[in-house]
């Protein structure tokens, strides 16, 4: 393996044309803006531990759709140099190879008759390959929907969808948060947004044969 699919080529392959991709991208960014506004409203009176440089949420398996990945990859390609992009792709590919058994399990029905892949997701932990050395997110403006909801929404069981720091900080506070799963479900009507995987899976499948 010596090269990978450029962002423009990947977008064209999925959407058939630049216009098709741009239409889907604009719709996605509009949804992001709407969710961000709602999260800001529902958390404005809360004391949250989240701050610039905190990367606790970046060591979890956060999932995204192919559409979200293409938009993120497009942004990353435009805002990083060739050497840095190569390093990110290789790091993500190595993560995929290390966790391949767990990651590939999300592409098949849940084992043992389970309702979903939650138990597998809890086992999958890694440092996000898009996390910069200073603790910042390299794609923050176009980060995936679940990343926007992490630490600021309820999970399916009515608990906090977030890391232990958020859970501990919100004890005793009155909460009227979004539901993460139902909010994320809004993406199901978008093109190439019905399945989800982790960043290492997408990056590992960018490679072109030699």
User: For 37-49, what is each residue's pLDDT tens digit?
Assistant: 999 999 898 888 8
According to the model, what pLDDT value does residue 208 have?
Answer: 66
Helix (H, G, I), strand (E, B) or coil at 209: coil
100 pLDDT tier (thresholds 50, 70, 90): very high
Domain total in the chain: 1
The secondary structure of the chain in percent helix, strand, coil, rounded to multiples of 5, reads 55, 5, 40
- Decide if 76 contacts 84 (C-beta within 8 A): no
Helix (H, G, I), strand (E, B) or coil at 136: coil
Helix (H, G, I), strand (E, B) or coil at 89: helix
Domain of residue 48 covers 3-208
- What is the arrangement of strands in the sheet containing 153-154, beginning at the earlier edge strand? 160-161, 153-154, 178-179
Helix (H, G, I), strand (E, B) or coil at 164: helix
61 pLDDT tier (thresholds 50, 70, 90): confident
1 pLDDT tier (thresholds 50, 70, 90): very low
Of the two residues 176 and 70, the one the predictor is more confident about is 70
According to the model, what pLDDT value does residue 160 have?
Answer: 84
pLDDT > 60? residue 210: no
According to the model, what pLDDT value does residue 163 have?
Answer: 81
| C-alpha to C-alpha distance for 19 and 119, rounded to whole angstroms | 39
pLDDT > 50? residue 125: yes
pLDDT > 60? residue 2: no
Closest CA to 18 of 64, 65, 66, 70: 70
pLDDT > 60? residue 178: yes
According to the model, what pLDDT value does residue 168 have?
Answer: 81
Q: In whole angstroms, how far apart are CA 167 and each of 49, 58, 161?
A: 10, 16, 8
What percent of the chain stands above pLDDT 90? 66
């Amino acid at each position: 393996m010596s090269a990978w699919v450029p962002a423009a080529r990947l977008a064209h392959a999925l959407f058939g044309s630049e216009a098709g991709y741009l239409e889907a991208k604009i719709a996605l960014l509009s949804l992001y803006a709407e969710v961000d506004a709602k999260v800001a409203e529902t958390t404005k009176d809360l004391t949250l531990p989240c701050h610039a440089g905190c990367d606790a949420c970046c060591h979890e398996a956060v999932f995204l759709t192919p559409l979200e990945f293409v938009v993120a990859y497009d942004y990353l390609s435009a805002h990083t140099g060739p050497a840095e992009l190569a390093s990110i792709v290789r790091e993500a590919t190595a993560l995929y190879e290390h966790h391949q058994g767990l990651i590939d399990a999300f592409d098949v029905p849940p084992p043992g008759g389970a309702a979903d892949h939650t138990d597998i997701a809890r086992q999958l932990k890694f440092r996000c390959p898009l996390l910069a050395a200073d603790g910042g997110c390299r794609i923050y403006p176009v980060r995936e929907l679940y990343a926007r909801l992490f630490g600021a929404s309820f999970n399916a069981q009515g608990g906090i969808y977030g890391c232990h720091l958020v859970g501990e900080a919100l004890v005793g506070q009155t909460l009227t948060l979004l539901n993460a799963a139902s909010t994320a479900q809004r993406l199901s009507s978008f093109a190439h947004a019905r399945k989800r995987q982790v960043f290492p899976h997408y990056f590992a499948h960018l490679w072109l044969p030699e």
